Amino acid sequence: GRSIECPGDQGCLLEVGQDSVHLNIKESFSFPISVIDDNKCQTMDEDSWCQMLRKKSAKAPACIEVLRNSQGNDLAIDGDVPFEKVIAAGYNHPREIIAVIRPQNATTCSTSLLDKRYIVKDDDLEMAMEIYHLPGSKDHPRAKLIYKKLKKPSSCNSINGLYIFQLSEETSMFTKSGVYSFIFSVRCRDSTVIKHESRITVRPNSNTRHWQLSCDADWSADNAVVDIRLGMPVRCLAARSHDLYGNGIPFLDVHKAVITILGGDDILAQVKDIKVDLSTDLLTLYIRDFLFKTNKLDRVRPNYEAMLKISLSDSELSHPCKVKPGLPSTINMDMSLAWEKNLTPGEVIDDALLEVLDHCGNHVEEGMELIVNTVGLSFVDKCGPVRKVNSEGFVDLRGMLKVVSGFGSEACLTIFHHKKKIFNRTFQIAIRNLKAVKVPESCPAGTFLENIIFEVSDCDGVIDESIHGLQHTLSIRSNQLKDVQGAQYAFEHGRCVLPRAQVPNEPGTVSFVAYHTHFSDLETIIQIHVYALDLVRVNSENDFEPICSYPTSSLSSQDLLSPSQLASCQSVRYIEDALRKVSDEIESIDSNIRSEEEMIKFLDSQKKSVENRIASLKDEIGHRVGAKEITRHKIEENVGTAAAVLCNLSNHKAYEPGRSFKDEVVGIVALLGTVANRDLSRMLSVYLGEDNMLAVVCKTQDAANYFEKYDTEGNVDIRFGIHQEAAKLGVPISRRFPIICLDEIRPYNGDVFWNIRQKKLNLPFPHSKTHKGFRGLAVNLINLSAENLEIITSSGHGLRETLFYRLFGELQVYETRNDMRQAMPHLRNGAISLDGGIIKGDGMLLLGYSDPEIIFPVMPDAPDILEDPEDVFTKVKKMNAEKSVLETVENKIRKAEENRQKLVMKRNKKKRKFDEMAEVMSQPSGSQLDQYHPVSQ
């Protein structure tokens, strides 16, 4: 017989074969025949049987239900599982989950869900509970099984049929965001499977929010301090937030941010309304390309530690940072020193303290290295020009600089940072004059000059009493004063006395130079007329007063007068003596005039020699070198460009081995050609624009690929190529830059004038006849150096056929705007005029005026040879020194001409006096003679 619980298909089955008959009992039971004979079997009608089946079916398992806390108070459940709800990560789940199997007759309206009538009690049924975690969303294809248990029914508080699953050991439940799927299943006696699934969504717990900040989205250094330097853009600042359990919290409805740098409670800097970007999963916030400006960094010096606060529409985050000052930009120096008029040769400067500031006015950080170049000054400590900024933001040169230039010259202090000049100051060394006091204009031969006083005074004539001591001595240089040649005389409080010097025995002019022994530029030239000694001179007040006495015996008898003759000859003798004296004075003046003229002639020769040397230096460093170096210097001043980085790198002689972006780089457009005049250079530069003038030219596309690469999110990798070199130089590239690949350019395919050294293009003439003002085609007006003429592509084309034809095409050049307009019907690729007109293509004119900084170097001739920049600097320095010498020589010529003019005027006055006296002597004795008689009438 088949049990009522057994399905019909599992009952016994009579199998009839060809040769035999079999009874397959299956799940039926066998009873002895005696059961029937003993009346132990009861016959049931069909209605009774169906009713019994209905009752049996009503108690059969139908579904699985999980008991909630409100339903399980009688079971003392200590918590609830919020199925089909959204909860925050870290939810405190109950220690156990209780499920029951409901029969078919159970309804939701049952008075008590723990009514024993509506709980299936079958000790043979086992229930399985599986918990799956689906990260991100319920549709995630890779759900992870995190819990699986198989339980038999048990009882609690006299209630049977309870399936109790313990969760006490699963402490990590509900800590990771995502969807948790609870699947309960029971295999019934009839082999059917009853399943029940409930879901719980876990979101990140924003109440336990933590932030993570990174520069350039590099998360390898967890919560590293963000380094910021003023003046350098922050390329990419990435922010993430997560809860206590590591779940990423998405950014919702975020479009702008405010970034603030705090030093304690003080706001050091703030940037408002910065646009932000979000990653596709909304978990990462990107803030790109922003700059800070502040002059308050001295408040957080020397550690520069601060807090970076990012304010969003719905939240704020703070992160430690270091905000360092910008690069050195300004140097302040005590202006009293800049106006110093008392610097003297040999003096050690005690107050040279240089305050170094960045572009915002903050003191730069300690240890920053500067190059201090000096002219006319030297370092006392002999430690060279590299000087470091101290902890206070100063370069301390107190007691380190010594004046080595001479009186009246200049000293110069120039400071560089990364080859950029940031400070230049010229100091005037004190002007001092050496002069002699009360030097006779003439003296007799063979006598002595005694007690000549020399004084050192300033421009106002005040004696410099600091010229004192053994280090200040006077020397005499002369081939005529043998007794004082080479001797030294000490100065005392600005004065020096030459006690005695013997005058030569022969008449003439004695010249000697008195100079400071250690500062030879402090000198004076003294000229004295030496005349032959007269025997007797007549004085206007006394009849005879001996000036220089000689023995009377030396006079002949004919020179002696009798008393009777004395009175009549007295006036004549006086006049003769006066004439002789005036004649001697005129002769002395003539000698001085000749000396001045010889000095002027000598100085003129010296001036011409210096001017020739200056002209020669100008030719050497002029158009063939200076123009290109000026353009190179202008490019280097464009900080933040790839061209500036390349120019800086080209100054280094050695490169690191291995493939790098510098391989196969031809150069910068602005440095690859020259033009004949500035107007043409300016207009070609305006036509191309600064971006094209600063474009980098390389030979192949492969070479261009070595300039930069990108990370997985498309951001520039600053640790590769030219960006890496820019970072080493401290001048990151802050703007896009074009690269021109010669091999990728479609070259000019016409004829070339190969017989011309410049290899110009044989382009068709644009007009049927020469148009007024037409200067030529721009592509052929560019001159190439011999070196650049050798640059060819893999297909054999030169720079003119590729680069410059690509840039200019058939651009025409005219003298004036009017000439250009009249030629408009003949224009193909536009035109420019040297007075500022530009036509680009059909119908497009550029108006206004501009004077670009980056222009093609101007060289009247083709640039064949260019010298090394260091040689240029040396020659410029030498030329400036020659100009200083020229100025000194011109001053000496001017002074000599003034002296000569004074002597000429003095001579003319003496000559008029001599002529008057000679006229008197030519008259007979009488009244005219009497006025010259020394005795009163």
Q: Which of 882-889's residues contact partners 24+ apart within 8 Å by CB, and which partners?
A: 882/610, 882/613, 882/614, 882/617, 883/614, 884/409, 885/610, 886/607, 886/610, 886/611, 886/614, 889/603, 889/606, 889/607, 889/610
| The predicted structure's pLDDT at residue 168 | 66
Q: What is the pLDDT of residue 50?
A: 79
Return the amino acid letter for 162.
Answer: L
Instruction: Between 56 and 826, name the one with better pLDDT.
Output: 826
Paired tokens of 310: 């990012």
User: Per residue, what are the HEC states of 118-184?
Assistant: HCCCCCCCCEEEEEEEECCCCCCCCCEEEEEEEECCEEECCEEEEEEEECCCCCCCCCCCEEEEEEE
Q: Which distant-in-sequence residues (6+ apart) come within 8 Å of 287 by Cβ?
A: 234, 236, 237, 238, 239, 257, 259, 274, 276, 310
Instruction: Using the predicted structure, report yes or no on whether residue 72 has a pLDDT greater than 80.
Output: no
Q: What pLDDT, on a 0 to 100 scale, did the predictor assign at position 568?
A: 39
Q: What share of the chain is helix, strand, coil (3-state, %, to 5)?
A: 25, 30, 45
Distance from C-alpha of 769 to C-alpha of 781, rounded to nearest angstrom: 20
Q: Inter-axis angle of helices 642-650 and 627-637, to 10 degrees?
A: 130
Round the CA-based radius of gyration of the chain to a whole number and report it: 55
Mind giving me the DSSP string for 665-728? EEEEGGGS-BBSSHHHHHHHHHHH-HHHHT-EEES-HHHHHTS--B-TTS-B-TTSHHHHHHHH
pLDDT recorded at residue 688 = 92
**pLDDT digits 0-9 by tens, 880-937:** 778 888 888 888 898 999 998 999 998 888 888 888 777 766 665 444 444 444 433 3
pLDDT digits (tens, 9 = 90+) for 709-736: 888 888 888 788 888 888 777 778 888 8
- CATH 2.60.40.2550 in the chain is located at 60-203
More confident residue, 52 or 788: 788
- pLDDT at position 757 over 50: yes
Report which of residues 702 and 935 the model is more confident about.
702
pLDDT at 336: 58
Q: What residues have CB less than 8 Å from 635, skipping those under 6 apart?
A: 641, 643, 644, 647, 668, 670, 671, 694, 854
pLDDT at residue 554, rounded to an integer: 34
DSSP string, 498-551: EEEEEPPSS-EEEEEEEEESS-TTSEEEEEEEEEPPPS----SSSS---SS---
3-class DSSP assignment, residue 190: coil
28 pLDDT tier (thresholds 50, 70, 90): confident
Cβ neighbors of 339 (< 8 A, separation 6 or more) are none
Strands in 377-379's sheet, in edge-to-edge order, are 348-349, 401-403, 377-379
Confidence of residue 167 (pLDDT cuts 50, 70, 90): confident
Give dist(CA 133, CA 135) in Å, integer: 6
Q: Provide the token pair at 79.
A: 């918590």
Joined tokens for residue 222: 């967890």
Q: How many residues does the chain have?
A: 937
Helix, strand, or coil (residue 553): helix
- Average per-residue pLDDT for the chain: 80
Q: Which fold has domain 207-324?
A: Immunoglobulin-like (2.60.40)
What pLDDT is recorded for position 843?
72
Give CA–CA dist 379/149, Å, rounded: 86
Q: Is the pLDDT of residue 598 over 80?
A: yes
> Could you read off the pLDDT of 349-362 as tens digits, one per residue?
888 889 999 989 99
CA 839, CA 352: separation in Å to the nearest integer?
A: 56
Answer yes or no: are the C-beta atoms of 674 and 630 closer than 8 Å: no
Helices marked H in 258-355 — which ranges?
335-338
Question: Which CATH number applies to 60-203: 3.40.50.2300, 3.30.470.10, 3.40.50.1220, 2.60.40.2550?
Answer: 2.60.40.2550
Tell me, what's the pLDDT at 574? 63
From first CA to last CA, the distance across the chain in angstroms is: 196
What average pLDDT does the segment 105-115 reach? Answer: 63
Instruction: Count Cα atoms within 13 angstroms, Cβ side, for 813.
Output: 20
Q: With beta carbons less than 8 A apart as the criterion, state whether 567 and 573 touch.
A: no
Q: Write down the CATH number for the domain with range 333-428.
A: 2.60.40
Distances (CA, A) of 722 to 247, 632, 663, 704, 869: 38, 18, 12, 11, 23
| pLDDT tens for each residue of 113-137 | 677 778 888 888 899 999 998 886 5
Confidence class for position 651, pLDDT limits 50, 70, 90? low
Structural tokens at position 699? 């030979």
Mean pLDDT in residue range 837-860:
82
Cβ-proximal residues to 541 (8 Å cutoff; 6+ apart), any chain:
934
Binned at pLDDT 50, 70 and 90, residue 544 comes out as very low
Residue ranges of the chain that CATH labels 3.30.70.1620: 639-852
Return the higher-pLDDT residue of 534 and 548: 534
Do residues 327 and 730 lie in contact, with contact meaning Cβ atoms separated by under 8 Å? yes
Q: Which amino acid would we find at residue 535?
A: L
User: In Å, what is the CA distance from 172 to each residue of 82, 129, 141?
Assistant: 16, 17, 22
Please determine, for residue 535, whether its predicted confidence score (pLDDT) is greater than 50: no
Q: Which fold has domain 639-852?
A: Alpha-Beta Plaits (3.30.70)
pTM assigned to the model = 0.46
pLDDT for residue 668: 92
* Residue 870 identity: E
d(CA 684, CA 854): 11
Task: Confirm if 730 and 744 have CB atoms less than 8 A apart.
Answer: no
pLDDT digits (tens, 9 = 90+) for 317-366: 888 989 999 999 999 887 555 455 568 888 888 888 899 999 899 999 99
Identify the pLDDT of residue 92. Answer: 82
Half-sphere exposure of 411 (CA within 13 A, CB side): 30
Bond from prior residue into 732 cis (ω within 30 degrees of 0): no
